[in-house]
Amino acid sequence: MAEFQLACQDWKRTLIGSVHSFGYMIGLLIVGPLSDRFGRKSLIIVTGIAGAVLGTVKTFVSSYWIYVALELLEAAIGDFCSPLYILGLEMVATKSRVTFSTLCNMGFGIGGLLLPLLAWLIPYWRTLLRVIYIPGLLSICLIYLLDESPRWLLVKGKKSAALEIIRNAAKMNKIEINENLNLISFETDNESSFVAALRDTFKSRSILKRVFVCIVWWFTCTLVNFGMALNSVILQGNKYVNFAMSSVMDILSFILGAYILKKFNRTGPLITSFLACAIFCIGQPFIPNNLLWLVNSTYMAGKLMSSIAFNTVYIFTSELFPTHTRNSIHALCSSIGRIGSIIAPQLPLLMVYWTGIPNVIFGAVSLVAGLLTLLAPDTADTNLPDTVGQAEALKVGTAKPGNKCCKHRMKTDCTSL
């Protein structure tokens, strides 16, 4: 505020958060297709290093608008979450998807918990950002620590490379496999095949309907989840503790969500979490302010439900679309949905009219998203679809058991041995 003279310009402060989300939205539209075209591993390394460099550079600028420009650029080409998540999901067996997703998201929650503690200990913002961004340069080490997705390699016709990774996995896990594995290669690695795959995917009416539903899910989750995290600092009490508590809700949601998804599939938990979030958010502003414990507890309960919904949406979206275009469509839904996170930083400006407006908005959109979930097929215990036909075969209200792996037969869904 002092260095950029923002004391009487609230819109400039909230603009930074919206610009970051806008940059991330653009980046998903770029990184997702590039990941499907050139591979998950390559994009993870490039975006990881770019984010660390740009994030560190912006700590040295003295102009507000240059800072905003770097914020946009860093968000656009400096986030490797999408390709990293898809890479991991494509390397685990059907029964391990929820566990893997939980472990990945746990890192997000722990990072969110450490952030306010670091901000408390390091009050000067330039130093704080350097502490956060510089470790990202270690992304260069992923060249040696990551394998490419065997499923992506098979889709691109690189059967020998996929087989080598599978052999290494089997060796590490002390599993014997048949050297004459019948691995199916779907495509050759050329640009026209990728464009054709995108075209075939969007020709399907059922898949287009899913894309629409997923966009609403992502809009709701980013608006509510990020909005509630931001607004937690204006609750009564210590702002650092309140923000840390919102991250604790994220961590709890990963643990509870993993149990719920394993026991109750996908659609039921998602509908329930959206509707519960709507009830808590709409009800919280009407609680008397003198009941501080109840006000804050209700707020955190809404944040917990929102986080459970977000975790479910992340894995649910990746299970609805074929391998050829999975990362592209996952990134498309996430990208358009990021309109919610662009709007979220601006909602506190409405509190001059009534302090409860942001929470009522959070509740209303959660209600709509929960009802739309009825249009999506349940994908629990089903193999990830590799083709458009397999994706279309997923029907609303059904969930077919996935194929199992054995020592002597390999399915394309079981590349992790």
Is there a contact between 332 and 211 (Cβ–Cβ < 8 Å)? Answer: yes
Q: What is the pLDDT of residue 412?
A: 38
Q: What is the pLDDT of residue 410?
A: 35
Q: What is the pLDDT of residue 406?
A: 35
Any bridge partners for residue 409, and if so which?
406
Residue 150's nearest CA partner among 181, 106, 104, 195 is 181
Q: What is the pLDDT of residue 172?
A: 86
Is there a contact between 415 and 91 (Cβ–Cβ < 8 Å)? Answer: yes
Return the axis-axis angle of helices 97-121 and 292-319, rounded to nearest 10°. 140
Q: What is the pLDDT of residue 360?
A: 93
Block residue for tokens 């509870």: 256
**Tokens (6 digits) for 147:** 């394998």
**Whether the model pTM is above 0.75:** no
Regarding predicted confidence, which is higher, 358 or 237? 358
Q: Say what percent of the chain tops pLDDT 90.
A: 20
Residue 251's nearest CA partner among 95, 107, 368 is 107
Mean pLDDT of 108-120: 89
- For 257, residues 6+ apart whose C-beta sits below 8 A from its C-beta are 102, 269, 307, 308, 311, 312
56: pLDDT confidence band, cut at 50, 70 and 90?
A: very high
Residue 354 CA to residue 216 CA, distance in Å, equals 26
SS3 416: coil
Dihedral sign for Cα 117, 121, 125, 127, please: negative
- What are the tens digits of pLDDT across the range 151-165? 888 877 788 888 888
Mean pLDDT of 396-403: 47
**Statement: residue 187 has pLDDT above 60:** no
CB atoms under 10 Å from CB of 269, counted, come to: 23
**Tokens (6 digits) for 207:** 């898949």
Residue 345's nearest CA partner among 222, 218, 227, 244 is 227
- For 172, residues 6+ apart whose C-beta sits below 8 A from its C-beta are none
Residue 73 CA to residue 68 CA, distance in Å, equals 9
CB atoms under 10 Å from CB of 245, counted, come to: 19
**Tokens (6 digits) for 402:** 């996935």
Q: What is the pLDDT of residue 195?
A: 64
**Statement: residue 183 has pLDDT above 70:** no
Q: What is the mean pLDDT of the chain?
A: 81
- What are the tens digits of pLDDT across the range 339-394? 888 888 888 888 888 888 999 999 999 999 999 888 877 776 667 677 667 766 66
**Statement: residue 325 has pLDDT above 80:** no
Is there a contact between 333 and 38 (Cβ–Cβ < 8 Å)? Answer: no
- For 19, residues 6+ apart whose C-beta sits below 8 A from its C-beta are 68, 71, 72, 75
Q: What is the pLDDT of residue 112?
A: 86
Is there a contact between 72 and 65 (Cβ–Cβ < 8 Å)? Answer: no
Any bridge partners for residue 406, and if so which?
409
Lowest mean per-residue pLDDT among 124-128, 337-341, 353-357, 398-402: 398-402
Mean pLDDT of 393-407: 48
Q: How far is the CA of 405 from the CAs of 176, 263, 284, 288, in angstroms?
A: 12, 21, 48, 56
Residue 198's nearest CA partner among 185, 208, 188 is 208
The DSSP secondary-structure symbol of 348 reads G
**Tokens (6 digits) for 383:** 């193999």
Most confident of 296-305, 310-319, 342-351, 390-399: 296-305
Mean pLDDT of 73-80: 87
Regarding predicted confidence, which is higher, 111 or 187? 111
Residue 338 CA to residue 76 CA, distance in Å, equals 12
